[in-house]
Structure 1
Amino acid sequence: MAKNAFLFLADAAAGLTTGDSIMVQVSKEGAGTKGPRVTTKISLPGRYLVLMPLQDHTGISRQISDAAERARLKEIAEDIRPRNMGVIVRTVAEGCTKEELGQDLEELLRDWARVKRKYKGRSGSPLLYQDHDLVHRILRDLYAAGETTVVVDCPELKKRIIQELKDLAPGTPPQVELYVGKVDLFTHFGLKKQLERAGNNRIWLDCGGYLVFNQTEALLSVDVNTGKYVGSKNLQDTVVKTNLQAASEIPYQLRLRNTGGIVVIDFIDMTDPNDRSAVLEELASALSADKTRTNLLGFTRLGLVELTRKKTERLLSSVLEVDCPHCKGMGRVLSDETVAFKIALEVNSLALENVEVISVHCHPAVAGFVIGAGGSNLRALEKHTGTTVKVRGDESFVRQYYEVKSVAFD
């Protein structure tokens, strides 16, 4: 279903007026009832560079920390980028030659030329450019020549990856292995278990404490609890150890779940400022491994820790899960007793139509409340309505669903 996109003022080109035709790029996918966010600041990602054809700017990845290397790469980027166009040097470009960066830029410029041709000859609002498929993006964005080994369980995919790596990282033998084992690839490497954990709101820590994740439309809250862990010395030792493990695990879970936006963490209260500092340092250290931009804001006056993580693609939960059709995503359903009360109300309403027999069809557990101990509830209902009520339990009914109708006689 088509949705309207949102173009924020900060993402729009200057001088726009009503009725203008503009080229935009989706910067954030839509979620729920919200449409996608778009921008006029076009960017095309390559292996070593990101081309920004409509901006005059040179940037270097923050993950490259060596000052001399940053200066070298910036000098190369300034030299090779076309006038009035911008580039961002990616982390994987560290140590690359001017020739390697230049070849990557040439390919991106060809992509941009194709986009412009399609835009010039467009009819309506066509798709001008789409990034490569998942396999190519993973290799382009994550593969580090000489450091990364790719493991697959499909011979055809292995051949394809070897060829793509020869193009992406020429001069370095591709490190690709074909897995043949008694269990599936995800189980062998523990990924299946991690995916299952990512689908849980409660994550247990090695120390016996646990985290509770609560994702809302506005933010993600994480609650830290001691759980089964009681420590070996005193309560404060238990609190600090649990908080330190939580500070290490939470950034990993943010990456795994692809969480973006505002994150609020409720660590267990600590009285010693040194303990609070140690937990913040552990959290900052764990966040530093994240390639997605994060901003740790520290403790608030209420003792909560705030941080932000740039929104990229969809949440893992939105890819793997759908809202429960019974609770509509609320995570809670009516109790059996409440459903039985609703049934009684409907029986009362239907009895006002002067029917003689009413049929109730529901889950057996709910039927038990409708009937009551020894049939007491059912007798009272029949007496009050002046009708005969026939109750039938059916295991195929979900507990909060039921059917109340009059019985017609020929």
Structure 2
Amino acid sequence: MLMHGHRELLQTAVLLNGRLIDFYMEQSESSGLVGNVYKGRVVNVLPGMQAAFVDIGLGKNAFLYIDDLLHPHLEKQPEQKPSITELVKSGQELVVQVMKEPMGSKGARVTTHFTLPGRWLVYMPIAGYVGVSKKILTESERSRIRMIGERLRLEEEGIIMRTAAEGECEESLGADVEQLRQLWKSVEQRAAAAKAPAELHREAGLLRRAVRDTLTDDMDEVWLDDASRYSEAAALIQEMTPHLSDRLKVFDARKEKSSLFDRFRVTEQLEAAFQNRIRLECGGSLVWDETEALTVIDVNTAKYTGATDLEDTVFKTNMEAADEIARLLRIRDVGGIIVIDFIDMENESNREKVMARLSDWAKRDRTKCTVFGWTRLGLLELTRRKARDNAARQLNERCPACGGTGKKTTVNS
């Protein structure tokens, strides 16, 4: 993992065998809103949309949908949804948590399903159940940590055991729960005293999240090029994973006569990853186009002619494209609806293999990603959870001449 800091900016990149597989960035440690908890005031209730707008002090009112007001445990929800007017009224004060940042003209989306992430688990003060990460595959281990969770939770509390909880002892998991429980109590105390709108809790910045969520035993090295952040990073690693403290290393750009990202070829990989046309190693290519809520990806054979027959050429191109698309979705942090136009395949088993490959990658994605399958037109549909503005919009500046279309209309009169 590489962490590049410059003033307010922090960028983190994760490499596997020298190849970029994850990329995150924040303009400042206080810029992220997802996970923040606010005491807000209901400004408007819209029964026709089953939603309400809540002033949480961000300028634009936040959007609260009825599903985010009902009990988070499905078994405890009513068989038929009530009208949102029965749950909230204009002027009512409400504690909410940001689940999606403001994007474009839209305000933040908020929820009353509170979640506080720790190193090993996620604490939910009112969920009433224990969940286990689907990435923990051993049934005996799933049962073990589920039973620990049941012993640790109190009354209406809920716990989701993260992938990192696999193999951890009850003492470590219990300490995580108690820390988060006390954090929630402090949020409740601030809520009782605060006047809406007010911020009650701020989620950890990118540096802490990177150490908490990304640093694992199988990570060989962590390089940091910002001396001002080194002591903070070292303290975080000592707090969460002290046995990995020796893996943190300082990169001196002046001594190396190169930037951290240039030294590990991250810069050139990022430049290639954010192009509209991406070349595949086999000679094929991807054409990538994004709107606010929809991403369309077209797969082409381009210069790849294969070695045996057309079906084999198409299949190999599509399989490589599936691998590359999965990687780029993570690097670009794409969210929303994604439609992929793979090259047409005659063999149904080949179609199933391409979908299975993409589904396998989706399971490894730390952001929830769901592959729905093929449409009648032969397009593959999937969705990926969208919580923050993606990296492309943060890195790229819209061209004032063409407005981002890449074309300029000329009218002869």
| TM-score bracket for this pair, using the shorter chain length | 0.7 to 0.9
1:226 to 286, 301, 319: 301
Normalised TM-score (structure 1):
0.78
Q: What residue number does 1:255 align with?
A: 330
Distance 2:401 2:245 in 1: 53
Asked if residue 18 in structure 1 is aligned to residue 89 in structure 2, the reply is yes
Asked if residue 121 in structure 1 is aligned to residue 193 in structure 2, the reply is yes
Asked if residue 37 in structure 1 is aligned to residue 87 in structure 2, the reply is no
Normalised TM-score (structure 2):
0.78
Distance 2:331 2:87 in 1: 39
1:67 to 111, 134, 139: 139
Return 193-202 or 9-18, whichever deviates more.
9-18
Q: What residue number does 2:350 align with?
A: 275
Greater Rg over alpha carbons, structure: 1
Contact 1:265/1:304 (8 A) holds in 2: yes
Q: What residue number does 2:371 align with?
A: 296
Q: What residue number does 1:3 align with?
A: 60
Residues 81-92 of structure 1: matches in 2 within 5 Å? 81-92=153-164
Q: Which has the higher contact order (CA 8 A, sep 6+)?
A: 2
In structure 1, list runs of 5 or more residues that go unmatched.
343-410
Residues 271-350 of structure 1: matches in 2 within 5 Å? 271-335=346-410, 338=411, 341-342=412-413
Percentage identity across aligned positions? 39
1:338-357 deviations in whole A, cap 9, x for unaligned?
Answer: 2xx25xxxxxxxxxxxxxxx
Distance 1:246 1:205 in 2: 7
In structure 2, list runs of 5 or more residues that go unmatched.
1-57, 72-85
Return 236-245 or 141-150, whichever deviates more.
141-150
Asked if residue 132 in structure 1 is aligned to residue 204 in structure 2, the reply is yes
2:292 to 186, 209, 217: 217
Structure with the higher strand share, 1 or 2: 2
Counterpart amino acid of residue 4 in structure 1: N
Contact 1:166/1:174 (8 A) holds in 2: no
Distance 2:388 2:292 in 1: 15
SS of equivalent to 2:403: coil
Change (3 A) 1:311 1:105: same
Q: Count matched residues.
A: 338
1:206-243 deviations in whole A, cap 9, x for unaligned?
Answer: 01110011112231111001111122233323211211
Contact 2:326/2:358 (8 A) holds in 1: yes
Structure with the higher helix share, 1 or 2: 1
Counterpart amino acid of residue 82 in structure 1: L
1:56-86 deviations in whole A, cap 9, x for unaligned?
Answer: 1211111111111111111111111122111
1:58 to 130, 135, 141: 130
Distance 1:265 1:332 in 2: 24
Distance 2:384 2:403 in 1: 28
Asked if residue 157 in structure 1 is aligned to residue 229 in structure 2, the reply is yes
Contact 1:145/1:174 (8 A) holds in 2: no
